[in-house]
Amino acid sequence: FAQKFVQPSCMMLNSIRFSSTLGRMMYYSQARAYSNTNVLYSFIQTRLRKEAFKNSIYRPLAANTINSNDGARKKRKIVGRGKASGHGKNCGKGHKGQNSRAGTGHTSAAFIGGQNPLNKRLPKVGFNRNAHKEPLERVNIRDILYYIRKGKLDPTKTITIKDLFECGAVSKIKYGIKILGRGAEQLDSFEQPLHFEVQDASMSAIEAIQRNGGSVTSVYYTPTIIRRLLCPYKFKIPEAKIPM
């Protein structure tokens, strides 16, 4: 009975090829004693799993088998610890020159090495007026009507850039205000004609205002005059005291 069931176990042990003393003892003498129990079976299965894990190119996903991708973790470079370290003395920067100095940073791709750069050797072509642009603050008709309904604008008087600034329609004015036509259809139900004195207005806004009986007057102010118009207290010159 024992030999009948020990033989397959001995064949499995032989395939594993134990080299340790415990393995030889299990093969020759102890296999018969453990043939009718689960100890030998679990021991053989454990050895088979280890052998399969050792010979396989794939590893099971576990906490101890997770590795970073190749190149994901760069090894730290330690310099200035003697010549034997491979990065001592000059620390891998060579002798003198720009690249051996501290704080030089990275040069641009157009740097040629102290010579006149290419963008200065070639002639200028075309023009660019972006530096001379004077962008205007934009205000829509619907926003103006909103502040009129709230009582912050008086529709019976001419609405100037100072009125739009004080009511909160714009937060700052540097070059002026341009009125846009979004919400112009609301003027059809607005009985009071509106008169504006601003720097610019769109065609749709002008047509809607004139159709309602209003007008748009275009004026020009320099940035300094606009600042004095909005903040006169900053330009107030204190009067000199008359000596007694």
Compute the mean pLDDT over every residue in the chain, rounded to the nearest whole number.
Answer: 81
| 18 found inside a domain | yes
Residue-level pLDDT at 123: 93
Number of domains in the chain: 2
pTM comes to 0.50
- For 175-195, write each residue's pLDDT tens digit: 999 999 999 999 988 889 999
Residue 22 has pLDDT above 60, yes or no: no
| CATH number of the CATH domain containing 181 | 3.100.10.10
| 155 found inside a domain | yes
Residue 12 has pLDDT above 70, yes or no: no
Both structure tokens of 1: 């009975």
- Domain boundary, last residue among 40, 55, 70: 55
Q: What percent of the chain has pLDDT over 90?
A: 45
Q: What is residue 26's DSSP assignment?
A: I
| 195 found inside a domain | yes
| 144 found inside a domain | yes
| 118 found inside a domain | no
- For 107-149, write each residue's pLDDT tens digit: 888 888 888 988 889 999 888 888 888 899 999 999 999 999 9
Residue 5 has pLDDT above 50, yes or no: no
What single string gives the DSSP state of each residue in 91-137? TTS-SSSGGGSTT-----TT--SSS--HHHHSPP-S---GGG--PPE
Beta bridge partners of 200: 178
- Domain boundary, last residue among 55, 78, 100: 55
Residue-level pLDDT at 26: 55
| 74 found inside a domain | no
| 111 found inside a domain | no
Q: Is 88 left (phi over 0), alpha (psi -120 to 50) or beta?
A: beta
Residue 166 has pLDDT above 90, yes or no: yes
Residue 31 has pLDDT above 60, yes or no: no
Residue 220 has pLDDT above 70, yes or no: yes
| 86 found inside a domain | no
Range of the structural domain that residue 226 is part of:
137-234
Residue 72 has pLDDT above 70, yes or no: yes
- Domain boundary, last residue among 55, 78, 96: 55
